[in-house]
Amino acid sequence: MPVSVSDLSSRTVLVTGATSGIGHQTARLLAERGATVLVHGRTAEEALAATDRLVTLAGVDAARLCAFGADFTRLEEVEHLAARVLAEHPLLDVLVNNAGMAAPERHTVTTDGNEIAFQVNFLAHYLLTHLLEPALTSDPGGRVVNVSSALHRTGSIQWNDPNRVRRYSRLAAYAQSQLALTVFAADPRVTAVSVHPGICTTSLLPLYAHEGVAPAEGAAHVVRLCDPAVEIVNGAYYDRDRRVAPAAVASETRTVKRLSKLADLLVGQSS
């Protein structure tokens, strides 16, 4: 299914993890269609290098790009990122929660006290989304697109041990983070969808298969959901360009509420 080509010149979109892979190609496709793209990277230097590549290699208008740095292993940096975005871009049409990492072989906990993949892939995005709510909800076209994974179907949230201290497996930790991100799309406080962009040749490929499609192909499915011409239902899950049912637990009201309580606790937010 081809990506719709409506003009996005009035749209401002923040893409997390936009320095490589699907995130970088998502930023490129959005900018090429006229959107103002806030390019997030782990550091300001990485984000600036990514915007430079988009200008020099893809011919993107530099005026459409803004670089932002924040290390998602530090929730304080997520808070600073949100504050800067709100100050500089008080109207944000779309937030693409794309930044992600494979869980490491050894159990690793951040300085905030959370299992690293759970924090980077889910908690940081949870915090960022809620801090940006004033900008996102001020425009009817505002939406959040969570770049999730089909592996969410294999996951389970260990409610009493989300850090998986007692029993750690990198695949289980990664799947848990993707399930949480998918569940989060059904949070009634935000208008959000989640999408599995397909198996692409990115740093996460070894978790899935030996071969994948080009990141730009996966990015096209993400960009389609950023288009206001594409109607979305809160909590919907897409496998590439098809809306399908997520794992049953992902749309259970009880699970959505329970995850919000857990996440609020872990990121130090009050509901």
Please give the positions annotated as active site.
174
One-letter identity of residue 248: A
For residue 31, what are its two tokens?
A: 């900018």
CA–CA distance, 220 with 216 (Å, rounded to integer): 6
240 torsion bin: left (phi>0), alpha (psi -120 to 50), beta (else): left
CA dihedral (141, 142, 148, 153) positive or negative: negative
Which H helix or E strand runs over 168?
A: none
Q: How many CA atoms lie within 13 Å of 265's alpha carbon, on the beta-carbon side?
A: 9
For residue 142, what are its two tokens?
A: 């505002």
Whether the CB-CB separation of 65 and 37 falls below 8 Å is answered with: yes
Strands of the sheet with 65-69, listed across from one edge: 65-69, 36-41, 12-15, 94-97, 143-147, 192-196, 237-239, 242-244
